[in-house]
Structure 1
Amino acid sequence: MDQELELIRDQQKEVWNKFSSGWKKWDELMMDFLKPVGDEMIRQLDPKGNDTVLDIASGTGEPGLTIASLLDSGKVILTDLSEDMLKIAAENAADRGIKNIETLVCDVCELPFEDNTFNAVSCRFGFMFFPDMLLAAKEMVRVLKPGGRFVTSVWDVPEKNFWVTAIMGTINRNMDVPALPPGAPGMFRCAKSDLMSDIFREAGLTNILEKAVSGKMNCQTADVYWNLMTEVAAPVVAALSKADAAMKDKIKAEVYEALNQKFPDGNVVIDSGAIVFCAVK
């Protein structure tokens, strides 16, 4: 990677370590929210009893921990840029009695494994943040055995993800937030039609399939939504850190109003849309 991309990677590492406490606090709600995507990924991956599986951008552990629980004599190696996130993953594994896992802090663009090591590779919601997505895909393919299975997920278009746009749209309307450069890491970077399939083909994958998966963020109240998003969403926190108290209050009031309009009964359960890709080396 060139120097600019390494800088992005190092900044991401710092951010994920910084927000790890928020992810630990909200882990149950977030894992429930992301479970439909994880379930579809596991269905596509179809882990076998003695598989060795690499899980990239593991965060607090899913779907790698569930994959490990399905293996008889196999194991899962959980990797992430953030050592603090992986500490939470290890704690979650211990709490669930899952012992056939290892955690390793590493960069997806420089995986410390031999060629043709893994039976399967999974990566839930990592690609949109990788500085060089093609290099990341090539590294995953390199360490995957011939015939090995690859599965990943990315967020679909903003229109299908009100859980993000409810707050970020309000922030963008009220503040002069610089637009991301084309192709820069971001939530919806991978939603562009054919983008990911083209990357996967170039990386050496075949039999590429994609499937839309919906989910629901069950916040129940506007307060829970606001607190969650201001404790785990780095772009939200970064933007609000530049707002004065009056602007923060205005944004919060408008977010609550948007939620109240969409959920007049007060039960805030927000739809999401993702795309799961599976392929073979």
Structure 2
Amino acid sequence: MSEIVNTEQAQAWNGPEGAHWARNQDRWNAVNEGFNEPLLDAAGLTGGHRTLDIGCGSGQTTRLAALRTPRGGATGLDLSGPMLAEARARAAREGVANVTFTQGDAQAHPFEPDSSDAAISRYGVMFFADPEAAFRNIGRALRPGGRLAFVCPADPSLNGWVTAMAALREILPLGDFDTPGLPGMFSLASPDRIRAVLAAAGFSGVAVDRVEAYGAWGQGADDAAEFLLNTGPGRHFLSQVGTPEQARARHALTAHLRGHEAADGTVRLRSTSWLVTADRPTATA
């Protein structure tokens, strides 16, 4: 693995959080895959393109990018060893041959300059220790005129899983987990922040468009509640309270999610995100 500067995230994604996501990759894809087509369309991928997938996780978007570019290929980069192991295994099972996966930190990884036609990310760019440095490094990997396209969460209040967790504020010490702009999941919730970071990193033609999708969080409210409380944030919040409060939180979250059960029992929650595109400028005289 190349140099790591984002050590806190590296520890998380090679520990319980990474193991959880690797073990539950199909469930997380069911939550987030509604953004796949908009993301890949925005990247403008075609037959011979070489794609870099930042924060690729277990590799669903990397494999899809590779399938869109049969004469090119896709490389997924992620900090998480457990998730990359799942990505490689899934690519082998599906017979996607023009895809590779690399463990590394996007902020410091020694990308080959001008080696990619596009860089994409589905929820993989919010946790950079130094966003400007990371995007600048990603930009070096793009050829002049190459396209950056990523999806990141918009305002927390527009995301159903946040609303569900926020309903537990009187039971669990939620703190400021849903405050836009702070380091973490919602660090890029402001379009102005996105534009400023990308401009500082050397990108041009920045566009920020709102997109929505409904993800499947579980089969029935009990299942969805248990899944949410077993995520990293859920486990953290539960660890701060005793057994009675944990039981109350499970009961309250299940009751909240019953209002989101579809006719077939699937719990579907809205995710609202920014679909961001930008270009590496072509060489100037």
**Mapped contact 1:52–1:75 kept (Cα < 8 A):** yes
Q: How does 1:175-186 map to 2 (within 5 A)?
A: 175-179=172-176, 183-186=181-184
Q: How does 1:1-281 map to 2 (within 5 A)?
A: 6=5, 9-17=6-14, 18-167=16-165, 169-179=166-176, 183-218=181-216, 219-231=218-230, 233-261=231-259, 263=261, 267-281=266-280
Q: Deviations over 1:156-212 (max 9, x none)?
A: 111211123312x14433233443698542222211231101211221111222222
Distance 2:25 2:266 in 1: 20
Q: Deviations over 1:1-47 (max 9, x none)?
A: xxxx94xx323222223233432443223213312212111001121
Distance 1:182 1:214 in 2: 18
Q: Deviations over 1:93-124 (max 9, x none)?
A: 11211011111111111022132221111111
**Mapped contact 1:163–1:217 kept (Cα < 8 A):** no
Distance 1:260 1:123 in 2: 32
More helix by share: 1
Distance 1:182 1:246 in 2: 31
Distance 1:48 1:186 in 2: 33
Q: TM-score, normalised by structure 2?
A: 0.88
Distance 2:243 2:68 in 1: 49
- CA shift at 1:92, angstroms? 1.4
- Supply the AA of the counterpart residue of 2:94: R
Distance 1:98 1:40 in 2: 21
Distance 1:67 1:107 in 2: 20
**Mapped contact 2:66–2:98 kept (Cα < 8 A):** yes
SS state at 2:138 partner:
helix
SS state at 1:128 partner:
coil
Higher deviation after alignment, 95-104 or 12-21: 12-21
Distance 1:172 1:221 in 2: 23
Distance 2:242 2:212 in 1: 36
Distance 1:267 1:177 in 2: 26
With over 3 angstroms needed to count, the CA separation of the structure-2 counterparts of 1:263 and 1:69, relative to structure 1, is closer
Distance 1:187 1:69 in 2: 29
- CA shift at 1:138, angstroms? 0.8
What RMSD in Å do the two structures reach over aligned CA positions?
2.2
**Mapped contact 1:171–1:239 kept (Cα < 8 A):** no
- Supply the AA of the counterpart residue of 2:44: D
- Supply the AA of the counterpart residue of 2:194: M
Displacement over 6 Å in runs of 4+: none
Q: TM-score, normalised by structure 1?
A: 0.89
Gap regions ≥5 residues in structure 2? 281-285
- Supply the AA of the counterpart residue of 2:56: S
SS state at 1:32 partner:
helix
The number of equivalent residue pairs is 273
Distance 1:221 1:79 in 2: 34
- CA shift at 1:263, angstroms? 4.9
- Supply the AA of the counterpart residue of 1:270: L
